A and B are shown apart, each in its own frame.
Chain A
Amino acid sequence: MRRLTRKACLLAALGLCAVAWSKAAEGPLRRALSFSSLATSLRDVDAGKIIQALQEMRLRPIRQAWAEFWDIFGPGGRLHPDWFIEHQGHLFIEGGLMAIILVLFFQSGYRPSKEQEEEPLTEREIDELCREWKPEPLVPDIAEEDQLPEPPVIQEWENSHWVTVAGRRALNLTAADFLGLSNDPSVAAAARATVERYGVGSCGPRGFYGTFDVHLQLEQDLAAFMGEEEAIIYSYDIATVASVIPAFASRADILVMDEGCSYPIQQGAKLSRARVFTFKHNDAGDLAALLGRIEAEEARERKPLCRRMIVVEGVYSNTGEVAPLRRIYELKERYKYRLCVEETLSFGVMGERGRGACEAAGLEPGQVEIICASMSGALGSVGGFCVGHSEVCDHQRLCGQGYCFSASLPPYLATAAIAALRILGTPDGQALARRVRGAAAELRAALAAGPPGLVLAGAADGPAAASPVVHLHLDPSVESRLGPRPAVAAALQRVADILLQRYGVFVALPRYSVLDEVHPRQSIKLVANAALASEGRVEHVASALREAAAEVLGGSDGGSDGGGAA
């Protein structure tokens, strides 16, 4: 900084110098611009107006002083610039400027600045510092409160609804294959045929001969199913939204997210480096206020128009709650934001045609710019996809990191998804989705009162109850009674074990990473599926939960086998 100012001084001095020289050298130009003409005009003014004014004000001494001043400095005067220049006085100016230049020059040349004064480290010192440096271990020991029981392993897999875990055949409420489409013989047959024909891996990214005809087919089918212009598939679910967000937001842009968004969205926002704002979970009022604040701020700072996007989940994976998409849509239209909805847990189940939470909220295809979802949900396969305008998809084909820089989806997983999608599009598939929605709503209603020590997340009825994912959070008072985190985890694990061994219900206990900025309360997660929709199963699961919870989490007085069972 200081060096810069010095340079600027030098330049200015040099410039002045040049002006002075030219003044001395150029006769006619000098005359044209000379001070005398300026001075004459000044004197005209003084004769006409100023002196008169001064006289009128009877300020003789001042007038006199002015006249004396003018004798010396006026044209012909001793110190008039013209005289000065004509009598080589300019040499003085130039000499002075030269001196300044020299001073500045020597300053920058000979006096090192403060930071340069510090001697650089010698090799010996660096060696020493390197020897002294003690790195932390590559990974910390897992903190005691983070230690969790071993996750369950499926020993035998009958179909996506019935599995054997720890020696017990059980109803599987962990898999997001809601409709059980992957159990359909046509899906399995498609997958097998493709493995025989194409092998397993695609052995290349989409750009480099990794695009198979079946990928194009799946993209077409997805677009048609969703009623959108185009679809693009990714080879993995968590890489989908994490690639989509950075493709449409960069440093100068604005992302507005729900504070409950799951990790892939958080990662996408981080990778985009955009300005991120969060609003209160599922609170459209807070969103409205936030958007208003941002708009006012942007207008105040006169920021140029930037890309702005709201990112929400159709059904929040951390809580199973449904986003108020209708309200969010209205706000986005009002404030001219684009909307990105992550539909992993709603695609295939919610909405009349199974298009997801946006359809359920009454939004037409095309109204939401970007919809992402996993294929490990209702499609019962692996991978992720994004649908939207063709411009949205085209751009991802150039800029979606997980799309461009990763091997494409194994073809057999694509054909499995195609087959599943085909069923989903039939009236049978829609009827199945309706039944699963019904089962989910029934389960919610049955658990509304909450098994002892557990609290149902989200609404128990209304449109929000259509979410196929039910989280039962631990009651805060029970949590504090149980003590530290490992004890809480162990208690929930006991509930899960009882559910499995005694009632044949396999449930999952979600776990969260240190990287996750959202820290949801510990919970039991139940995923509604087609098997749950058959006669009496919902009541069986609900009562099993009530009994297991009563046994482990018990009454508030701490009795472990209190009579909490309803």
Chain B
Amino acid sequence: MGVVGEGTRASPAPGAAWYTNWLATWTLAVLLFVGRIRDLLWRGRPRPPKGYAPLTDPQSSFYARRIYGRIHDCWNRPIASAPGPWVDVLERESLEGRTRATRALPPTGARRRCLNLGSYNYLGFAASDPYCTPRVLGALSAGGVSPCASRACGGALPVHSELEAMVAEFVGAEDAIAYGMGFATNSASLPVLCGPGALVLSDALNHTSIVAGVRSGGAAVRVFRHNDMRHLEALLRYHIAEGQPRTHRPWKKILIVVEGTYSMEGESPPLAAIVSLKKRYGAYLYLDEAHSIGAMGGTGRGLCEHAGVDPRDVDVLMGTFTKSFGSAGGYVAGSRAVIAYLRRHSPAHLYAAALAPGAAAQVVAALRLMRGEGGGGRGAAKVAQLHGNAHYMRRRLIAMGLHVLGDWDSPVVPVMVYHVGLLGAISRALLRRRVAAVVVGFPATPLLLCRLRICVSAAHSREDLDYALDAIRDVAEVAGIDYARPAGRLWGLRAAARRAAAAAAAALARGGAGGAEGGGHGGGGGTRSASGGGSGAGSWRGSSSSCCSGSASGGEAESEELSAAAADAHSCASSTAGAECCCDEAACACAGARAASC
């Protein structure tokens, strides 16, 4: 995905046409501008007591307050069922009229059964399972809820050693150590492996837990461009030749850290090339298989199997149990010496509560199934089903003209949206169609590379996927994110302009949630929107919404629909936010006019 700095830089997307980039930038600029104006006029955050600095830095929380805050109903949606192929999503009160930008929305009590394209339930172990659940219940009787002590100080149970042995065997390593949390697996193991004097070469898109681990160890870090082997080699050569900064002492060791499947890209690194590089230069390799263990490779043994690399050539194999195995925790597998050292010194082994026995038993049962025990090759069938589903989903999405990222086998299927403003509209529209998918924006991706992320599961049937694809097709058409659909140059330009107008309108409409979610539970939504009627801001609303739809009127039906939705949303914006609305509308009208004139 091109050059992406620590995940915060807004770099143009190479896959998108120049005008898409340009217009996406423009939408963002409008949002930022409006946000700044609002910051000037309203505080939007509590005043700290006298003598204290504000609890949050206003500059660093700007994005959260002013952009994420407009669409935060798209995240943190609570569910009330197992995260299986279908979930019960709890509906929440609408976003409109809330004065505190990012405050969690209280649930209304209503539920909506949705197809689950959001959970990391790759192998379908999330819900209760005829093989796993009895074993988990057995472990609960045999080991309690939690030993309430660390593994090193009296919290070790037989199920832990059993789990570690099975993991080591499954991934093909000499030994393994299990922890109670995937994040802590990285953040507590990496500092043990690389302290001061060591150099870490880290992929630009590595997960926060890796960054935290490396940083708390005190090693030097250099970031190489995502999956760019030339850059990695150049860095290796440069740093081995130059040694440590200032002292020019040789580095004690160099650790390359990559992920098996990048969670926002669905891509895997070229593992064979990395292994040959690390062998040539004497570096060590740390592979985070959080998303690839269970999901990649013919029998789910992870990226090594997928790439045909001997797992013993990877020095440290890390993974989590939270994704494919539907449990909690993580592991590190490697040579006996490495694991012994971690057992002696890893803070998550010495200080943290041991992995809950139930969670451990779930992984043991899942690994058993993957190994082919317990009933007719269910494990192998799951992997085959997952890969089939992933291929099917990707193929169909690409055929729809969407920009789809990722490897064919990868269960993570990101669809590029580019416009921040469209994220909220897409997520809400999909939810209305009973599809629970995840949209990801800024902190997780660069500003201009926001996307819709679909996680495919082995538990999805073909009908499920077709259902999702129908909904996605309709929404994608309305939102106009089918960037790869063949279109004349000028046509593409005009469509893009309308898209940007729609995006700006949708983004600036704070009441969008009311429009999107209110539809689902008529009665509750009605009482809220009624209050918006008689305020003085009404005239503003009228003029701006007509302007928005006016800007789109020359075009196809697609963007009309979306801006109509936006106008709807406007007209039910509540009166409490009246003053703020004015400012919104003005900017929105301006955005619409400018975009239409392109």
Q: Could you tell me which A residues sit within 8 Å of B by CB distance? A: 121, 125-126, 129-130, 133-142, 146-148, 151-155, 157, 159-160, 172, 174-177, 182-183, 187-188, 191-192, 195-204, 206-213, 215-216, 235-239, 242, 248, 250, 253, 262-264, 267, 270-271, 305-308, 317, 336, 338, 374, 376-377, 380-382, 390-392, 394-395, 397-399, 401-402, 404-407, 409-410, 412-413, 416, 506-516, 525
Contacts and interface: CB of A to CB of B under 8 A. Distances in A.
Contacts of A236: 180-181, 183-184, 352-353
A195 B157 contact: no
B327 to A, nearest CB: 4
B326 interface: yes
B110 interface: no
A274 to B, nearest CB: 12
B169 to A, nearest CB: 20
B136 A209 contact: no
Given A199-B133, A200-B359, A209-B436, A391 B148 contact: no
Contacts of A262: 351
B328 interface: yes
Given A172-B154, A271-B216, A413 B145 contact: yes
Interface of B: 45-46, 49, 51-57, 60-61, 64, 68, 75-84, 87, 89-90, 100, 102-104, 107, 116, 118-121, 125-129, 132-133, 136-137, 140-149, 151-158, 161, 180-184, 187-188, 191-193, 207-209, 212, 215-218, 236-238, 240-241, 250-255, 280-284, 315-316, 320-323, 325-328, 337-338, 340-342, 344-348, 350-353, 355-356, 358-359, 362, 436, 438, 443
Contacts of B52: 305, 307-308, 336, 338
Given A201-B327, A394-B102, A152 B337 contact: no
Contact of A216 (B107, B118, B127, B149): B107
7 contacts: A121-B241, A201-B125, A203-B120, A203-B126, A209-B87, A262-B351, A409-B328
Given A138-B338, A197-B82, A151 B152 contact: yes
Nearest to A253: B53
Given A195-B128, A407-B182, A154 B157 contact: yes
Contacts of B46: 391
A210 B82 CA distance: 10
The 10 closest A-B pairs by CB, nearest first: A174-B154, A376-B353, A407-B322, A236-B181, A406-B183, A139-B341, A508-B153, A336-B51, A209-B118, A203-B119
Contacts of A409: 328
A200 B327 contact: yes
Contacts of B240: 126, 129-130, 133
Contacts of A510: 153
Nearest to A506: B154
A439 to B, nearest CB: 17
Contacts of B61: 395, 398
A460 to B, nearest CB: 24
A187 B129 CA distance: 22
A506 B153 CA distance: 10
B362 A381 contact: no
A514 B156 CA distance: 21
Contacts of B326: 199-201, 203
Contacts, number: 375
B80 A237 contact: no
B76 A191 contact: no
B104 A151 contact: no
A360 B346 CA distance: 33
A122 to B, nearest CB: 10
Contacts of B352: 236-238
B146 A381 contact: yes
A204 B79 CA distance: 11
Contacts of A391: 45-46, 55-56
Given A153-B157, A405-B207, A512-B350, A196 B252 contact: no
B351 A263 contact: yes
A140 B347 CA distance: 17
Nearest to A403: B183
Given A195-B137, A515-B347, A203 B358 contact: no
Given A195-B137, A210-B119, A212-B78, 7 more contacts: A139-B192, A200-B328, A201-B126, A201-B327, A204-B83, A376-B146, A382-B328
Contacts of B341: 139-140, 142
B154 A139 contact: no
B53 A209 contact: no
Contacts of B127: 198-199
Nearest to A174: B154
